[in-house]
Structure 1
Amino acid sequence: MRHFLQLAFFSFFSLFLMAHDQKNQAAIFFASDDQLQQKLQNFLPDQFLLAEVLYQTDGTCDLQELHYLTGLEHAMVANAKDIQNALFYLHQSQKFCSVSVELIKKDCGYDLIFHLQKQQILHRMSVSGFLRGKDRLKNSYSIDIGDPFDQQKHKHCIEQMINFLKDAGYFQAQIIDSVKIDVQTQDVAVHCAVKKGSKFKVRAINILFDNVGSVTQSEIEKLQQRIQALCAVRLHAKPYCSELIEALLKKIKWMMQHHGCIDFDIRVDQKMIPASKQVDIDLHISLERKKEFIFWGIKFFKTDQIIDHLLLYGKSTWHFPSSLIVDEVEQLYKSKGFWNVQVSVREQKDKVFCYIKEGVRANIYSIQFKNNAKINTAVLLKESCKPFLKSRYFDKDLFKKMFDQVVKKYKEFGFWDAKIIKDEFVLGAKNGSYDLIITVDEGMQKIFGGVAIPDQPELQVQLQTMVAKNLGQGFDYRWLQEQQQWIIKILKSRGYQKVAANYSLQEQGQCLQVVWKVQLCESATKFGKTLIVGNCKVPHRFLMQELSHECEQIWDKKNIEKTVQNFKSLPIFDAVQIYPGQQNDLNGCKPIFVKLVEDERYEIKTRFGLQQVGRNLQLFRGFTYKAGATLCLKNPFLRADQCVLEADMTRFYRNVAASYQFPWLFGKKIGCQWKAYDSYYQQPVYIGSQDCLYKIVQQGFLCNLTHTRDNKKLGQFILSGSAGFEAMGLYQGDQPDLNVIIDYDRNLLEKKIGYLFVEPTVLWQKVDNLLNPHRGHISFFSCKAMLDLDSKTSFFNVLVEHTQYLPIAPKVTGAIRARMGHVFNRCFDQINPIERFYLGGALTLRGYERDYTPPYGLLTKPIYDQHAGLPSCADNIWRYAPQGGRSLFNLNAEVRLNLYKNFGLVIFNDVGALFKHSIYDELKSWRDSFFAGSGFGFRYDTPLGPARFDVGYKWKIQYPDFESRCVWYLTLGQAF
């Protein structure tokens, strides 16, 4: 019994020890291990529970970013593949030089401890002491911002920078570099203090012939004089620069070749004179022999052109026998139409004399085609022979190009087997005049009979719709390439990286049907996780909101482009790059790298120049000086935020504003801006006038929120809203009795009124091109409520606008815009002039001056101005000022035609009306309330938008002593 109890005790104790060892089993796995997958599978069961996920690093890390990269959470059921994928992304993130995971088995599952050793990353690289060419000097530092930092590579980069300075002439340049490493983040800041010293100048250029071979001394002296003269012009007493030396050597080599030097070598030595900051340059020339070509009788070609042609054969040119030289020169002349050229050659020691009798150059008087039954001669001459006919003289290159164009034109009409079987030149009446007769073999015409993609029904429908207009026409061979490119582009945009599209042609009588066979070499690529690299310090959770793609979503190039746009819209980045990873993760998804390089933290901008008030450049009136400055503090709170202080001053206004903006409010993608401002504005009576009608002062602060939503079907929505406080005052200008002129309450003049305001706006747009739309629409809604503290001049205004763009023909676009607005308040004379509606000018009602559509007020002090452009009956006296309106109606219509390349023509008609009081009462006399203008204009497309010149004509003139029949406008951008 006792033995039995002892045996049971030892058995139980052994089982306990085995269970204890099994429970505390642990292992460490490294991300760089080639056998990682097999080891994980051997150690872990098929599925297991994660009891705890921990991260141990030698510095600070964004915990949310680590959770995103690993995708592992507490109490999650995982497998070996999940662990390997987590290690993959941690390693790919480029933030850690060593990545490993420790797995500890417990009763409730496994504990995961990631051991991460941070990688030193170049966070900032700055240069001081060198202004001119500073960017080029920084570019010679080959470690990019955001890349891993390496001391050896850093030393090599410093050497490259010193070599750059020496090449620029700073032979005594020194660079004192300092490397600072943040212990917590492992960020590296490199600063290079440049002591460039003086820039050396070239004192003397010495030409030394080390070896002259069989060349005579007199020839050497001539060469030396030519080279010395060339050096004196290009280098003597000039600042040293390696680029100048290279350009000089290139010129010397060209000159020596054209003077018959065959085998030669040039070596450059530099001797510095530190005391005088000068450098001597020695050119050591070794020359074996010389053979100079001398041409007599040449008129059409220059000597250099003939030698350049012979030098196409390299050094062997100087070993050509006389017969070969004669043949080459004759072929050169005959290629330009000198068919009767005569060339003779005589050689003497180191010279070759070429005697040339050029003769008459062949002139092609006319071109005729034979057997061209399907395409008439006029079409071929216009489309294919234009460059040849423009020259008229025979040119072999143009001749070949013309033949290629003729065959190409036939293929465009479906004659795939067309060829030129004969060309003959018939001598004309005049000497050297020829008629060219081209005989063609057209072959059978192939008719386009449609397309089919059996393996891709959806793609087939889209392609058939696209090519429907070509059915029954001559089969242009270029359509095959266009269709192939379209198929590959569409499928690649859907994530298929390897696409093969091959076609077969099925004959149906004279028609050919194209059958495409599409091979997708792999499944559609999906987006993997997005890895943020670079030197951006914004928290990871905020940056992820700028992504337009999601993990495991089918690859879409448009989403990539949208992501780039989102990051570039943030004001803190100097560079934004996005690129896919080279390796897929274990789920077959492609990691996406977004490299963000922050701009300089502090930025000061100054500006000075001329400004045009308004977009109308008529008579170049309204120009004023403009001076301003902007101080920016970027990313002060690590939220992609920006503090801006700016001031501007012109002849008409003074603005000072301080703002703080950030792109994410409450963790959402809602842009927020806080702004305080102080503005002073003088309203001229008219553009170019020296008299001020009134003065406006606006002081206040506001908060603006903006949110943008993109929808593939509906387009883009921009929701914006502002709220704040504003003190606004209207003051007397140079005109007495201002209240009478602009119909404004006298009691509101010369005083500030405080308002609380709210202004929401909605913009909905879906257009194919923002600068020059051809299809789509833009809708805009805005309302503004301003409540004054005395409750006397409060108002609420609404403005609604809709623009529609319709393609009428391939090069014709119709555009129409409707605008309506109204100000709700007690009396018109209590509406501040800057809150009223106005019409007239290049953007609203063409045919009228800017903001000068009736109703008018009479000036109490008329202005004499002989350059105001008034009608003759006005006696150069300006008598009116605009009053604006409480209600607005505006309708614009345009037909836009593309004439040639970037040039376009526009025909327009604008209608509008302003109402001061009751719309119902004023519509009773609608003929006097509505105004219209028609006209035409020209457009020239530029990268900034169309340059526009418009001429508008009024339909009626109500004020003959003030209004001109037409007004012209020169501006940038479409009217709407």
Structure 2
Amino acid sequence: MKKIKVLFFPYIFLNLSFAQSLIVDGLKTIDLETINNIFSLKNFDNSLKSLYKLQAFSKIELIKKNKDKFILKVKEYPKITKIIIKGNKEFSKKELLKALFPNYQEDESSETLNINSFYLSLTKYKKILNSIKNYYKKHGFSDPKLDISLKENPDKKTYTLVISIKENKRYWVKNIFIKGNKKIRDSEIKDVLLNKEQAILLFRFRPPLLREYFPQEIENIKALYKRKGYLDVQVKDLPFVKCTSKGECNITYVILKEGSQYKFGDITIINAKYFDPKDILKKVKKVRKGKPFNYESLEKLKHLIIKYYQENGFYNSNVIIKPQIDKQRKIVNVKIICIPGKRYFLNRINIKGNYKTKDWTLRRELDLKEKYIFSPEGLFRSVRQLYQLGFIEKVEPKINIIDNQTLNLTLKVKERAFGILKVGAAWNTVSGFFARASVSRANLKGTGDTINFSAEIGKDILYFDIFYKHYFLFDKPINVIFNLYRRKDIYEQYTSTKTGISINFEEKWKKDWYFSQKFTVTKNSIKDSKDPEIQNSTNTYFIFSPALKYNTLDNPYLPHNGSYIKLLTNLGYDFSNTTRGFFKGASLEFIYYINLDDYFYNKKIPVTLMNRVYFGICSTNTPIDYKFYLGGDYSIRGYDYGEIGTFNKIWTNTIEVGYDFGNILRSILFLDIGGDFKKIYGGYGFGFRLLSPLGPIRFDFGWKMNPKENQNNFNFHFGISSYF
């Protein structure tokens, strides 16, 4: 009998097209139909590859029995359907299974854990071994011992993988010491280390000792010194580690030699064809002859030059920095070589995914034009402005270079549902519940226009508001907003009713800046006054409100980066009371978001910081309804709306720390303080922001910092929206 062996892809061409039958021998868990669907004697080489891709066979033999009959003899790897983990004390079975299989979600209540089956090849065996060892080492266990064995299942075909673990001692870092450093502070050096010392306030209770990071840490320390101009620095190859019997360790890093700080020598910019080198150098003041040499400032200068080139269409520009070190004079002469490359023009902008939004509705928001110079900064602003529309959920830009001078840009967008139904409520222990509802339809007929109706009803309030926003009036970058409203507020001292109409013109002034002019005619009534200083009256006002706004927030619903500034002024006239005459006021609002994840290249820190500062001032003859209130959702959340009172001058400051759970949920801690420049009030609390499939949801739980006796201390607010 002629026998042909095929092991691990030594492909042999066989003319088997005449074969009539194939017998498969050695199958245990794989059914014959799977083999028949894959293996063909007529296409032997590709069939063999396909069988090995199953990762189920350790050996495959093709045996020719006679002229018309062949035997395919296979040997399967053990098929694992369950796992038993023994000896684990510090970590649960689920934690260890997640280290092996990131998507593992099984209940760990039983000793035997069910998993998605797999075949235990030698490669898979090593991967399991290394994954568990690395998981333990990552948490400070220096030398865990593992033993892996197989236990046959009752079906006599599959196996249970038994992993026995001897954890040994866990080591953690109590203190980190730096010795030999005089030029750079301990804290700066510790910031570049991957091992971290115990810090209770930072929730580092027992940070693991990670010995495998020592070589990288030494290089990080050297790089830190060199960035600051200490080019002759020497650091001991490995730190000293001293551990107690309890596993507490102290690490000491030794700087053998810091050396002298080098200075900048001659700085030469070569091939600066499109800008004056002196103008560029003025913007990076630390890059000067005689100044301490540092790579960080050079990198800043490099990015500044590249940005300048790219803003002028040189998309593939580059800058090469060549430092020439003079060890005797302790200076560094720097040559900066500019490579502008070719200037690119934007040939075509393609927009995809806008099934309901008209193409020109999106194009008018772009800071890029076809046949003009392409700018990466313009692309960044364009994407941000599409997000700010509110009905675009996702934007994916793709650049396709056509030749040395032209490129195409494709913007793939994903639209949100354009309608929003909002239902909300507020509650406090004094006033009880307030119901809120609004119906909004954005992007009417794909034009971007928005219409909204909102109402608020409760024990102390009755309100409705109708507005319509039209984008690009007469095809000019001017937005116009019509507003019709009626509001009734019942306060402790009086009842206020406002009925009015307004029109607001908003125009884009320059990059990210908007200028608006609002005209309002309103009839206000004050009734049921219990305060002798507040008289019952009905007045008609005309109010002119110009405003300047700056907006670079990256998302209108859940911002991570950017800032928002608004300067608003009010100039009003009382037609019903000529003795009052003109009244005026102004306010300034500043909001700033920082995403800490952008500042740490080697860590994932999903924390967003927000700071909001607000100032308001008005003349003493301003009607009480147009003075400034303290207390409420966007003021001091420990108080109900207007609970603190009305003032001619106020200020507030809000600080929020948000932690993101993925892209849709953020938990926040907040602190609100403010006052009338005579007395300070404050509130604190926590809340949640959720971008659910139905729409954004908001919860806030606020407490007063210094409540008066018998005054309610708690306020709760929530809102829920629904897209349609």
TM-score with structure 1 setting the length: 0.44
3-state SS of paired residue (2:571):
strand
3-state SS of paired residue (1:630):
strand
Q: Does 1:707 align with 2:506?
A: yes
Matched-pair contact (CA < 8 Å) for 1:906–1:938: yes
The residue aligned with 1:650 is 458
3-state SS of paired residue (1:742):
coil
CA distance in 1 between counterparts of 2:359 and 2:166 reads 79
CA distance in 2 between counterparts of 1:327 and 1:777 reads 53
Instruction: Kindly provide the CA deviation profile for residues 415-458 of structure 1, in whole angstroms up to 9, marking residues without a partner as x.
Output: 44545555587989979999877665436444242755343354
Matched-pair contact (CA < 8 Å) for 1:938–1:950: yes
Matched-pair contact (CA < 8 Å) for 1:894–1:909: no
3-state SS of paired residue (1:449):
strand
Q: Does 1:684 align with 2:486?
A: no
Q: More helix per residue: 1 or 2?
A: 1
Q: More strand per residue: 1 or 2?
A: 2
In structure 2, runs of 5+ residues without a counterpart are 1-24, 30-54, 61-73, 101-117, 153-158, 199-204, 593-608, 661-667, 690-695, 719-724
CA distance in 2 between counterparts of 1:644 and 1:895 reads 29
Q: 1:799 to 1:458 in 2, by over 3 A?
A: farther
Give, as a single letter, the amino acid of the residue that structure 2 aligns with 1:498.
N
The residue aligned with 1:207 is none
Q: 1:399 to 1:558 in 2, by over 3 A?
A: closer
CA distance in 2 between counterparts of 1:576 and 1:344 reads 50
What's the offset of the Cα at 1:763? Answer: 1.0
Q: 1:841 to 1:461 in 2, by over 3 A?
A: same
Written as runs of structure 1 = structure 2, the 5 A alignment for 1:476-875 is 476-507=294-325, 509-523=329-343, 525-528=344-347, 546-550=365-369, 552-564=371-383, 582-583=401-402, 588=405, 590=407, 605-611=420-426, 622=431, 624-630=433-439, 632=441, 635=444, 640-677=448-485, 679-685=486-492, 693-694=494-495, 696=497, 698=499, 702=501, 704-711=503-510, 715-722=513-520, 729-730=525-526, 732=527, 742-744=534-536, 758-765=542-549, 779-785=567-573, 787=575, 797-801=582-586, 803=588, 817=615, 819-821=617-619, 834=625, 837=627, 840-841=630-631
CA distance in 2 between counterparts of 1:906 and 1:567 reads 32
Q: 1:799 to 1:554 in 2, by over 3 A?
A: farther
Match of 2:122 among 295, 313, 316: 316
Q: 1:969 to 1:660 in 2, by over 3 A?
A: closer
What's the offset of the Cα at 1:414? Answer: 3.6
What's the offset of the Cα at 1:512? Answer: 2.0
The residue aligned with 1:890 is 649
Q: 1:333 to 1:775 in 2, by over 3 A?
A: closer
3-state SS of paired residue (2:121):
helix
CA distance in 2 between counterparts of 1:712 and 1:566 reads 11
TM-score with structure 2 setting the length: 0.56
| CA RMSD between the two structures | 6.8
Give, as a single letter, the amino acid of the residue that structure 2 aligns with 1:933.
K
Matched-pair contact (CA < 8 Å) for 1:298–1:358: yes
Q: Does 1:455 align with 2:214?
A: no
Q: 1:705 to 1:579 in 2, by over 3 A?
A: farther
Q: Does 1:442 align with 2:261?
A: no
CA distance in 1 between counterparts of 2:378 and 2:577 reads 52
Instruction: Kindly provide the CA deviation profile for residues 26-63 of structure 1, in whole angstroms up to 9, marking residues without a partner as x.
Output: xxxxxxxxxxxxxxxxxxxxxxxxxxxxxxxxxxxxxx
CA distance in 2 between counterparts of 1:352 and 1:263 reads 18
CA distance in 2 between counterparts of 1:949 and 1:470 reads 52
CA distance in 2 between counterparts of 1:848 and 1:332 reads 48
Q: 1:446 to 1:623 in 2, by over 3 A?
A: farther
CA distance in 2 between counterparts of 1:460 and 1:652 reads 65
CA distance in 2 between counterparts of 1:553 and 1:287 reads 63
Q: 1:908 to 1:319 in 2, by over 3 A?
A: closer
Residues matched between the structures, number: 583
Q: 1:530 to 1:621 in 2, by over 3 A?
A: farther
Give, as a single letter, the amino acid of the residue that structure 1 aligns with 2:544.
P
What's the offset of the Cα at 1:496? Answer: 1.2
3-state SS of paired residue (1:514):
strand
Matched-pair contact (CA < 8 Å) for 1:847–1:953: no
Higher relative contact order (CA 8 A, sep 6+): 2
What's the offset of the Cα at 1:403? Answer: 3.9
Written as runs of structure 1 = structure 2, the 5 A alignment for 1:319-338 is none
CA distance in 1 between counterparts of 2:129 and 2:419 reads 69
Instruction: Kindly provide the CA deviation profile for residues 880-937 of structure 1, in whole angstroms up to 9, marking residues without a partner as x.
Output: xx8x7xxx85375989999x999999997744xxxxxxxxxxxxxxxxxxxx225788
CA distance in 2 between counterparts of 1:354 and 1:559 reads 56
What's the offset of the Cα at 1:659? Answer: 4.7
Q: 1:580 to 1:815 in 2, by over 3 A?
A: same
Matched-pair contact (CA < 8 Å) for 2:315–2:376: no
CA distance in 2 between counterparts of 1:816 and 1:773 reads 19
Give, as a single letter, the amino acid of the residue that structure 2 aligns with 1:685.
E
The residue aligned with 1:915 is none
What's the offset of the Cα at 1:798? Answer: 3.5
The residue aligned with 1:827 is none
Matched-pair contact (CA < 8 Å) for 1:632–1:644: yes
CA distance in 2 between counterparts of 1:465 and 1:449 reads 16
Q: 1:414 to 1:654 in 2, by over 3 A?
A: same
CA distance in 2 between counterparts of 1:358 and 1:537 reads 59
Matched-pair contact (CA < 8 Å) for 2:264–2:332: yes
Written as runs of structure 1 = structure 2, the 5 A alignment for 1:350-499 is 384=193, 387=196, 395-400=210-215, 402-416=217-231, 418=233, 420-421=235-236, 423=238, 441-442=256-257, 444-449=259-264, 452-456=268-272, 458=276, 461-468=279-286, 475-499=293-317
What's the offset of the Cα at 1:500? Answer: 1.6
CA distance in 2 between counterparts of 1:576 and 1:385 reads 35
Q: 1:667 to 1:432 in 2, by over 3 A?
A: closer
Matched-pair contact (CA < 8 Å) for 2:139–2:209: yes
CA distance in 2 between counterparts of 1:501 and 1:594 reads 29
Q: 1:608 to 1:392 in 2, by over 3 A?
A: closer
Matched-pair contact (CA < 8 Å) for 2:144–2:165: yes
CA distance in 2 between counterparts of 1:211 and 1:404 reads 54
Instruction: Kindly provide the CA deviation profile for residues 382-430 of structure 1, in whole angstroms up to 9, marking residues without a partner as x.
Output: 8748526775986433545554444444444444454555558798997
Written as runs of structure 1 = structure 2, the 5 A alignment for 1:928-967 is 932-934=678-680
Matched-pair contact (CA < 8 Å) for 2:172–2:207: yes
Matched-pair contact (CA < 8 Å) for 1:846–1:910: no
Instruction: Kindly provide the CA deviation profile for residues 487-514 of structure 1, in whole angstroms up to 9, marking residues without a partner as x.
Output: 3334223321111211111345213243
3-state SS of paired residue (2:284):
helix
3-state SS of paired residue (1:484):
helix
Matched-pair contact (CA < 8 Å) for 2:57–2:75: no
- Percentage identity across paired residues of the two chains: 14
Give, as a single letter, the amino acid of the residue that structure 2 aligns with 1:763.
A
Q: 1:346 to 1:971 in 2, by over 3 A?
A: closer
